Amino acid sequence: MLSKELHEAINAQINAEFWSAYLYLSMAMDAEAKGLKGVANWFRIQFREEQDHATIFMNYLASRDAKVELKAIDAVRTEWASPIEMFTDTLEHERKVTAMIHNLASIAHKENDFASANMLTWFVNEQVEEEENARDMIQAFDAVEGNKFGLYMLDKELATRTYTTPSPLQNSAD
């Protein structure tokens, strides 16, 4: 059985994951409106990943016989000046999510909840990847700043990114 503290914290994380998805969808739509189809694709995939992260947490609560409590999703920003601004905001946001995941892991460890700590290890590792991806994108857009052909080529490259189902969901019906 989950403690009340961890149960509430995971429900808050579910809401945060859906907010993240909404943020990335907003970025995708802004990029699309600016003719950056590759950037839009990159953020659409992020949108799907964040929805999957919420699903993983919801499945986990269900497996522990704990109720999922969905809350309202706060509004998100809808415009950015450039892709580099989008990715800078992405990195800042992912750092906040990392802190939230670390808090969940800390609660699980404090409570000797080994099942939850084990599940959260995947998220700890995922956040390392999320932050690295955002930093890589910042570096890439910084490298082509002011170069329209470089921006065009980078946007084309981002259009080739494909979605991969996160491993905790690969064998589930979700």
List the structure tokens of 72.
């309202």
Provide the pLDDT for residue 81: 97
Provide the pLDDT for residue 167: 86
Q: Which residues contact 55 (CB under 8 A, 6 or more apart)?
A: 169, 174
Packed helices 4-33 and 83-110: angle between N→C axes, nearest 10 degrees = 170
Instruction: Give the architecture-level CATH label for domain 4-162.
Output: Up-down Bundle (1.20)
Residue 161: alpha-carbon gap to chain centroid: 16
pLDDT in tens, the chain (174 residues): 899 999 999 999 999 999 999 999 999 999 999 999 999 999 999 999 999 999 999 999 999 999 999 999 999 999 999 999 999 999 999 999 999 999 999 999 999 999 999 999 999 999 999 999 999 999 999 999 999 999 999 999 999 999 998 888 876 655
| Domain ranges across the chain | 4-162
User: Is residue 89 within 8 Å of residue 35, measured between CB atoms?
Assistant: no
Integer Cα distance of 127 and 42 in angstroms: 17
